[in-house]
Structure 1
Amino acid sequence: MKFLKLLLLFVAFQMQAQQGGMWIPSMLKGMNESEMKSLGMKMSAQDIYDVNQSSLKDAIIHFNGGCTSEIISPKGLLLTNHHCGYGEIQKHSSVENDYLQDGFWAKDLASELPNPGMVATLIVSIHDVTTAVLEGVMQLPSEAEKQKRIQENIARVQATFPKEKWQDNRIRVFYEGNQYILFVTETFKDVRLVGAPPSSIGKFGSDTDNWVWPRHTGDFAMFRIYAGKDNKPAEYSKDNVPYTPKHFLPISLDGVAEGDFTMVFGFPGRTQEYLPAVAVEQIVNSLNPAKITIRDAALKVQDGFMRKDQAIKIQYASKYASVANYWKKWIGESQGLKKSNAVQIKKDFEKEFQNRVAKSGKSAEYGSLLANFEKNYQEIDQYALARDYFVETVLRNTELLSVGFRLYQLEQVFKARGEQAFTDRKNNTITSLEGFYKDFNAKVDEKVFEQLMALYTKNSPLLPTDIKALDIKKTTALVYGKSKLTSYKGTQELLKGDAKTVFKNLNKDAGYQLVKKLADNFYNTISPKYDEINLEIAALQRTYMKAQLELFPDGRYFPDANSTLRVTYGQVKGYSPSDAVYYEPVTHLEGVLEKYVPGDYEFDVPAKLIELINKKDYGQYAENGKMPVCFIATNHTTGGNSGSPAIDANGNLIGLNFDRVWEGTMSDIYYDPAICRNIMVDIRYVLFIVDKFANAKHLIDEMKLVHPKKQASTSK
């Protein structure tokens, strides 16, 4: 029986090795390259990453710090997700020109819309600098001293590593601090909106279909990188020209079939694949339920207002989508972790881990790791829960409190660094809050505040008596009736004058008084102890990772995602989420009409699209008379992979990654190849919308369209 358990563990691990993982593109040579070719890839590792010659990595863009995009023309045309560009589309929208509702398509370069503050970052080269970063670290006695030395070494290496003057050096941590890698980057600061479909296409299905398969969402938007006349990064200028890339992705018109090789290339945000079982239990049983409850309450309030008022709908569209995204993800994640029995699988692995520790004679080094994890996670539990309640209530979901917290930080800046630092920060805050208040509605936020503060005072641990005893209705009426934080003009008034005057006025304000009370409790009671225990957990996790690499030498361990450039590979494949249910891997445009609900904000369909469907006017983009919309595969993706290209065996663009299936959202913590699937827009649907729906054929003419499958069959 024990042998059978180990065999099953080994088989499961091998399946994950072939279908899971987020790999550093400069390190694919060898095992990964062989595995990719066994799945059908025709390229070499050098075709994917090369410093000296153009390669696929030269077309992959970190889009505005949070998503991925790819260059799809020799004129710097970018493709990313509609939801990645949603905030910018919203900023350009008004009730008169509602680009969220109607879409936007620039008819020429002069019509493309600038986006101040938006950036697009390219990776120039990747270098392992572990030895330099860990120099003089291991002999230090405490974890705090080690981390201080590491940060000093990182600063030194980043400052001295060779680069061009327009480039940057960025060092990121891998394998929980066992490896450090430096990325040489180029960041472009003139990125313009080129085109976006209406939300009835780009967000079709909206929150109901989010994280769900089958999917029929055309989640794409187009931007363009502009550069100086020397083709180097430059601030926005009307004299800038479209960027000429080293490489852009050709686009395949041949589509996908079950079993086809797929590679997703992008910037996954964060995973936690190597957590111990006790940490996963805490996420499932304590932290996720609390965050889900808070966001559920906020969303219900916002949705009620958005359905009744078009102006509020525009104001809150992007914010609502952002809040709803992880609310639904956490629900699916918790369900998936339970269904896949992730905690028990991790406990079984930990038994084998302890056996190997004993057999290797390393009990002194690693024998107490799991017991120490247990102790520290028990100690941190109430602090972690209190921290999540504060973050979700004060910083993320109640807008007045989040503004108040920014002003609270001003006070801390003054105390730590003096009047000049305060003045600089104050001026930046005033400028940035103008855009914030454009999309702020006090009536909406008042109701959100009332709901969330009731949950906070009732359920959050480590609150003092005076906060727990607050009369929420009276507090709500006081704050939103008296506080100047409810308007931009009022906030500007509070920030007039020198530091002494500002803090005198702030500390008389009802909203600020409450924020200060909440923040003081957080920083005095919650944060110090949380940080102390979390530092110990981080040290344990680093040692645990090192031990796994040592004790399982034949294992395949990819580094957790950390918003750096990664490759994940797999195959187009359907899946069975439950008994007697099987999902095909491709959806078609007929499914849009099946979901169509006239006038519904989630499932309405533009009249022109209905006309094209009825006429079957799909042009060259259809397959056997049907228009593919989305497909799924076994690529291991996460947040940050939104907008990542799905690339075929020959290096051509076949799709645009935008989501995962709900049953597999736990892949940030535990990847199960049976049910984990990423969701992509079929590139042919993108082209169809641009060409036939938007009449923007001039954009199609920029691209290089290819038929790799037809070419391969002809050459045989």
Structure 2
Amino acid sequence: MKRFKVLLLSILLISSSLAKADEGMWLLPLLQKYNIATMQSMGLELSAEELYSINSTSLKDAIVIFGGGCTGEIISDKGLILTNHHCGYGAIQRHSSTEHDYLKDGFWAMSMDEEIATPGLSVTFLVRIEDVTDEITKPVKSKMTEEERSKVIEDAAKAIEEKATDGNHYRAMVRSYYGGNKYYLLVYERFTDVRMVGAPPSSIGKFGADTDNWMWPRHTGDFALFRVYADKDNKPADYSPDNVPYQPKHHLPVSLEGVEKGDFAMIMGYPGGTTRYMTSWEVDEAEKITNAQRSFIRGIRQEIILEDMLASDEIRIKYSSKYSGSTNYWKFSIGQNQALKRLKVKETKQKKQDEFTQWVNEKRKRSKEYGEALDLIRTAIEERHDYMYANMYISETLLRGTELVSLAGRANALYEYLKGDEDKGLENRIDRFRQSATAFYKDYNAPTDRKVAKAMFKLFAQQVKPEFHPSVFETIEKEYAGNFDKFIDHMFDNSIFADSTKLWKALENPTAETFENDPAFAATKSISEVTSKIWSELGEINKKFAKGHRLYVGGIMEMNEGQPIYPDANFTMRLTYGQVQDYYPRDAVHYNYITTLKGVMEKEDPDNWEFVVPEKLKELYMAEDYGPYAMDNGEMPVAFITNNDITGGNSGSPIINGKGHLIGCAFDGNWEAMSGDIIFEPDYQRCIGVDIRYVLFIIDKYAGAKHLVDEMTLVK
């Protein structure tokens, strides 16, 4: 699961008729009010204060935002971080080369001196959460337009954020919850000296790759280790050899006890985004535009890239992270559409809308306040259809799909500066762009991109209405007689961006004319012009949508007043709770709650790169050399499932037992519940996590890095 952008516009309300107790991504300050009694009845031995406190240490102090879209947890008093292999994949790939192929061979630092600094990677701790709804909404007047309302809320939020960070090194942001009906201040502490400590080879960390992604049973050791460093005062600091391992307020004890069906399990982390209060019209939009078109486009692009990756180790290393990021939500889109249809989600949403409409129409006051909500949403969805479709294709085929266009687009800020008269600060701007381009070229192969570009430009022309075509398509028609291959070859042969040598030469004395005459830059400018127009139209339409959704959610809150409620995920810390649990995906089929190393061996296929098993792992299996990490029956556990409510962003989140001990690391959801971001399906929804005992076994017995295990607090 990877981090993805969603509109933070909805909630799901919990009642006995709507959901089970284990549904929900709960706000930590509300646990005492809504959840703690239920959690303790299920097996939690801790208090709400021990889970979240601003006055003393608590479990939340061991949880971090890892990078920009995952979760991690501190598992030693020396700042050791556990997260997913796929969360650390970008860093592992960045440090890899044909000489040191950490993707293929893995990496293990045998001392702190061998840990690898990773510029650009950060971890972020939550300091506190505070309800600021009254301060935010006080200046809002009922007769304000949506634009006026947004402006006063933005100004109030800015003032609160500035006050929260005055005189300290913290970061602060005010976020909206419950469809814009509530607001919370979040204060963070961010550390930027993060070093790579250990990662299994991809044959363990990504075992099963795309075939097994989003599937259960799973046999993937999806974990990696990093360490956060601080200055001598234990404060955030940029990388320095003088920095020391961070001393956390709390680190999670690591359990060797294992799991059994029915055991209490909770997850603390940063779920990226859910749209649980999506309407039937939005479900239709997600099916036909977002999912259908994304999976179609990416499938074509990925096939081209994979062919080159399999033919060259150099290209494989360059494109591994990009390819993995693409395929993750390619498969997600396919699975979600299947689940939406199979589970009749659109019909369920329509039923909820009918219930809401009936409730609204029962009283004139409600009709006056909430009566326009659903009409606003429906109208907005209808009006934005063509714009959403065109925007999807521009993003997937041209801006993200063609890397040369993407790089040329990064030069626009420098180009705009060169068009002006001022030359002060020019060298700094050139240096910043050169640094960005250097990182780009490290993982770029122009021949691969050339093949992709030919396919993507043709696809856009075939699938998108001419009214949304950038002017470069008119150029292709007039000057190249509609021959896309000829145009793409000309662009790659003549653009300064296609070759780093050409670009470095041009940056020695750059001019606006240099960029204006470049075919790739001209293409990206024309694409950006159309994109801006589309975004402008969508911005106006979405004001109508935002108002409708805010009213809809506000009405549902009133309709269910007194019931425990949780807001949609928005990449802020949440807690979910449930149990270790098996499930029945379809008639006469049963999936157990745990997998073992035996399953890895059963899946082995030396002729398929997704299912290669390292020789040493086979040797340990044959010898049953599992150390103290085996189950009572002597087998080696690999992964297990719970019915915790999670989504993208929860990747790397700790799975914690009732004592507050670490039992696993969450890394995926399951195929049968791919509609889970939109509607929770208690019979099917499962969180897949790597068993902490398998993590320890790989570190100790496979990698020979027992010093890392010795650093942890092991409990049983």
Q: 1:15-56 deviations in whole A, cap 9, x for unaligned? A: 634132111112100221122223222211111001111110
Aligned to 1:20: 23
Which residue does the alignment assign to 1:293?
Answer: 296
Measured against aligned partners, the alpha-carbon deviations of 1:565-602 in whole angstroms (never above 9, x if no partner) come to 11111111112222221111110000000111115321
Map of 1:366 onto structure 2: 370
Aligned to 1:690: 699
Partner residue in 2 for 1:713: none
> Taking structure 1 as reference, are residues 706 and 441 closer, same or farther at Cα in structure 2, changes over 3 Å only?
same
Deviation at 1:301, TM superposition (A): 0.5
Give 1:6's aligned residue: none
Answering whether residue 113 of structure 2 is matched by residue 110 of structure 1, we say yes
Q: Which amino acid aligns with 2:667?
A: F
1:244-263 residue pairs with structure 2 within 5 A? 244-263=247-266
Aligned to 1:318: 321
| Structure-to-structure mapping, 1:526-541, within 5 angstroms | 526-541=534-549
Contact 2:196 2:227 in 1 (8 A): yes
Aligned equivalents of 1:358 and 1:33: distance in 2? Answer: 36
The reply on whether 1:472 has 2:484 as its aligned counterpart is yes
1:570 has 2:578 as partner: yes
Kindly state the Cα deviation for residue 460 of structure 1 after the two structures are TM-superposed: 2.0
AA matched with 2:374? L
CA contact (8 A) 2:461 2:469 kept: no
Distance 1:164 1:41, change over 3 A: farther
In the other structure, the counterpart of 2:686 is 677
Cα distance in 1, alignment partners of residues 435 and 127 from structure 2: 33
Kindly provide the CA deviation profile for residues 515-567 of structure 1, in whole angstroms up to 9, marking residues without a partner as x. 2222212223x121111101221121111111110112254431111111111
- State the distance in 2 between where 1:636 and 1:102 align: 34
Q: 1:282 aligns with which of 285, 288, 295?
A: 285
Q: Aligned partners of 1:174 and 1:21: how far apart in 2? A: 14
Given the superposition, is the C-alpha separation of residues 465 and 620 from structure 1 closer, same or farther in structure 2, using an over 3 Å criterion? Answer: closer
1:509 maps onto 2:512 in alignment: no
Structure 1 Cα separation of the partners of residues 685 and 395 of structure 2 = 29
Matched, 1:61 2:70: no
Is the counterpart of residue 560 in structure 1 residue 568 in structure 2?
A: yes
Output the TM-score relative to the length of structure 1: 0.94
Measured at CA, do residues 425 and 291 of structure 1 come closer, stay the same or move farther in structure 2, by a change above 3 Å?
farther
Residue equivalent to 1:446: 450
Instruction: Note the C-alpha offset of 1:410.
Output: 4.3
Equivalent position to 1:135, from 125, 135, 138: 138
Residues 1:287 and 1:219: Cα distance change in structure 2 (over 3 Å): same
Determine which of 462, 472, 496 is the counterpart of 1:484: 496
- Percent sequence identity over matched residues? 43
User: How many angstroms apart in 1 are the aligned matches of 2:157 and 2:488?
Assistant: 46
Tell me the secondary structure at the aligned position of residue 19 of structure 1. Answer: coil
Contact 2:252 2:661 in 1 (8 A): yes
Gaps of 5+ in 1: 1-8, 708-716
Matching residue's letter, 2:567: P
Contact 1:173/1:179 (8 A) holds in 2 = yes
Asked whether 1:205 is paired with 2:212, we answer: no
SS for the counterpart of 2:468 is: coil
Range with bigger deviation, 112-121 or 553-562? 553-562
Report the counterpart of residue 641 of structure 1 in structure 2. 650
In 1: Cα distance, 2:104 partner to 2:595 partner? 24
Q: Write out per-residue CA displacement over residues 404-427 of structure 1, whole angstroms, 9 at most, x where no aligned residue.
A: 222235445777997668765543
Partner of 1:44: 47
2:677 to 645, 649, 668: 668
Q: Please state whether the residue corresponding to 2:53 is helix, strand or coil.
A: coil
- Asked if structure 2 preserves the Cα contact closer than 8 Å seen for 1:494 and 1:506, the reply is no
8 Å Cα contact 1:195/1:221 also seen in 2: yes
Q: What do you get for the CA RMSD once the two structures are aligned? A: 2.0
Q: Is the 8 A contact 1:17 1:556 kept in 2?
A: no
Report if the CA contact (8 A) 1:227-1:243 is conserved: yes
Aligned ranges for residues 356-505 of structure 1 at < 5 Å?
A: 356-361=359-364, 362-411=366-415, 424-461=428-465, 462-464=467-469, 467=473, 469=477, 470-497=482-509, 501=511, 503-505=512-514
Partner-residue secondary structure (3-state), 2:537:
helix
Instruction: Provide the C-alpha distance between the structure 2 equivalents of 1:432 and 1:476, rounded to a whole number of angstroms.
Output: 24
- When structure 1 is superposed on structure 2, of 378-387 and 406-415 the one drifting more is 406-415
**Cα distance in structure 1, aligned partners of 2:417 and 2:676:** 39
For residues 535 and 303 of structure 1, what CA distance do their matches in structure 2 show? Answer: 41
Conserved 8 A contact 2:15-2:563: no
For the Cα contact (< 8 Å) 1:120–1:189, is it kept in 2?
A: yes
Q: Secondary structure at the match of 2:49?
A: helix
AA aligned to 1:453 is F
1:545 match: 553
Q: Secondary structure at the match of 2:21?
A: helix
TM-score, with length taken from structure 2: 0.94
Q: Of 532, 547, 556, which residue of structure 2 is paired with 1:523? A: 532
**Paired residues of 1:268 and 1:564 also in contact (CA < 8 A):** yes
Alignment pair present for 1:308 and 2:311: yes
Q: Amino acid of the residue matched to residue 689 of structure 2?
A: M
The answer on 1:607 being equivalent to 2:615 is: yes
Contact preservation (8 Å) 2:289, 2:388: no
**1:701 match: secondary structure:** helix
Q: Secondary structure of the residue that 2:609 maps to in structure 1?
A: coil
Give the conservation status (yes or no) of the 8 Å contact 2:120–2:192: yes
Which residue pairs with 1:714 in the alignment? none
- Give, in whole Å, the separation in 1 of the partners of 2:541 and 2:426: 31
Aligned partners of 2:409, 2:605: CA distance in 1, in Å? 42
Aligned to 2:6: none
| Structure 2 spans left out of the alignment, 5+ residues | 1-11
For the residue of structure 2 that corresponds to 1:667, the secondary structure is coil
Counterpart contact for 2:14–2:565, Cα < 8 Å: no
| CA shift in 2, pair 1:357/1:37, >3 Å | same
2:97 paired residue number: 94
Q: Which residue of 1 aligns with 2:77?
A: 74
Q: Could you give the per-residue CA deviations for residues 76-130 of structure 1, whole angstroms, max 9, x where no partner exists?
A: 1100011111111112111111111111111111111111121111111111111
> Given residue 654 of structure 2, which amino acid in structure 1 is its aligned partner?
P
Aligned residues: 695
The secondary structure found in structure 1 opposite 2:650 is: coil
AA in 2 matched with 1:543: L
Letter aligned with residue 542 of structure 1: R
Alpha-carbon separation, structure 2, partners of 1:465 and 1:309: 35
Letter in 2 for 1:449: A
Q: Decide whether the 8 Å contact of 1:140 with 1:146 is kept in 2.
A: no
Aligned partner letter, 1:397: G
- Offset at residue 622 of structure 1 (A): 0.6
